[in-house]
């Protein structure tokens, strides 16, 4: 039976809306530009983006990478904007600005966009030794007033417990470093990177590496949780 013209128009509008939504989904990844994160060991949201960005709707993620699955379901923009997990105006008072249990999301920064990063569970972990090197990517050449690298204390279990300040021990830090002192890179992303040697003596098994990067260009503080297995 031939559908009247008015009927065809009724059917067309939902199709147009669906197409627009699909196009928005495709465009959204482009919002990730500038800033940075730790890429080795990888921060939680960068790891989820690097593994699943090209197939974020693949149902296999639910069984193969369940913590990333819950993160993608919570807010896809947390992964598309893997390089934007920062707070402004902290003025060095990190513990005052970020409550226990919210360290991995920067205190639910970005209107709570990164809240799934705080959820404890079996996140994909990077194998490292007790002596390791942390690699931080700076896509916008901000440089750093300082960078502080922490590792959780032995006995902390990231599979069951959300991260708190009392779980952390400072293992490495660098002071003011302008971007001219960082290494220029083009892969896996264009920008500059800095390599920070760290030592996690007395630890083995699952841990979190927590990094605070105080950018030099303004009062922007970046916070990164990276899951590791210390061998």
Q: How far, CA to CA in Å, does 80 sit from each of 48, 72, 167, 193?
A: 10, 10, 29, 20
> What is the pLDDT at residue 50?
97
> What is the pLDDT at residue 34?
57
> What is the pLDDT at residue 26?
36
Domain ranges of the chain: 37-230
To the nearest whole number, what is the mean pLDDT of the chain?
88
> What is the pLDDT at residue 25?
36
> What is the pLDDT at residue 151?
98
> What is the pLDDT at residue 5?
43
Query: What is the fold, at CATH topology level, of the domain defined by 37-230?
Result: Coagulation Factor XIII; Chain A, domain 1 (2.70.50)
Residues whose CB falls within 8 Å of the CB of residue 129, separated by 6 or more in sequence, listed in order: 230, 231
pLDDT of 146-155, one tens digit each?
A: 999 999 999 9
Residues 126 and 40: beta-carbon distance below 8 Å:
yes
Mean pLDDT of 158-180: 97
Mean pLDDT of 98-126: 98
> What is the pLDDT at residue 217?
81
> What is the pLDDT at residue 84?
95
Mean pLDDT of 191-213: 97
Chain center to CA of 221: 13
User: 29-38, 70-79, 125-134, 201-210: which has the minimum mean pLDDT?
Assistant: 29-38
> What is the pLDDT at residue 180?
94
> What is the pLDDT at residue 30?
37
> What is the pLDDT at residue 12?
39
| pTM of structure | 0.85
> What is the pLDDT at residue 22?
35
- Counting residues of the chain whose pLDDT is more than 90, the rounded percentage is 84
Mean pLDDT of 144-166: 98
Mean pLDDT of 197-215: 97
pLDDT of 4-56, one tens digit each?
A: 444 444 433 333 333 333 333 333 333 334 589 999 999 999 999 999 999 99
Mean pLDDT of 114-135: 98
The β-bridge partners of 207 are: 228
């Amino acid at each position: 039976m031939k559908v009247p013209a008015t009927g065809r128009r009724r059917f067309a509008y939902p199709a147009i809306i669906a197409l627009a939504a699909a196009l928005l989904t495709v465009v959204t990844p482009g919002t990730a530009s500038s800033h940075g994160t730790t890429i080795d060991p990888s921060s939680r949201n960068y790891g989820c983006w690097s593994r699943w960005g090209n197939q974020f709707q693949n149902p296999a993620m639910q069984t193969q990478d369940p913590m990333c699955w819950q993160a993608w379901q919570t807010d896809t923009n947390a992964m598309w904007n893997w390089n934007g997990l920062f707070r402004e105006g902290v003025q060095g008072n990190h513990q005052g600005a970020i409550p226990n249990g919210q360290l991995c999301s920067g205190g639910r920064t970005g209107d709570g966009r990164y809240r799934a990063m705080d959820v404890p569970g079996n996140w994909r972990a990077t194998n490292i030794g007790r002596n390791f090197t942390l690699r931080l990517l700076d896509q916008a050449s901000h440089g750093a007033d300082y960078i502080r690298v922490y590792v959780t204390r032995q006995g902390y279990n990231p599979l069951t417990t959300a991260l708190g300040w009392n779980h952390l021990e400072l293992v490495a830090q660098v002071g003011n470093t302008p971007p001219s002192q960082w290494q220029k890179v083009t892969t896996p992303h264009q920008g500059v990177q800095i390599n920070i040697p760290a030592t996690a003596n007395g630890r083995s098994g699952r841990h979190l590496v927590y990094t605070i990067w105080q950018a030099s260009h303004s009062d922007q503080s970046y916070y990164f949780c990276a899951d590791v297995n210390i061998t």
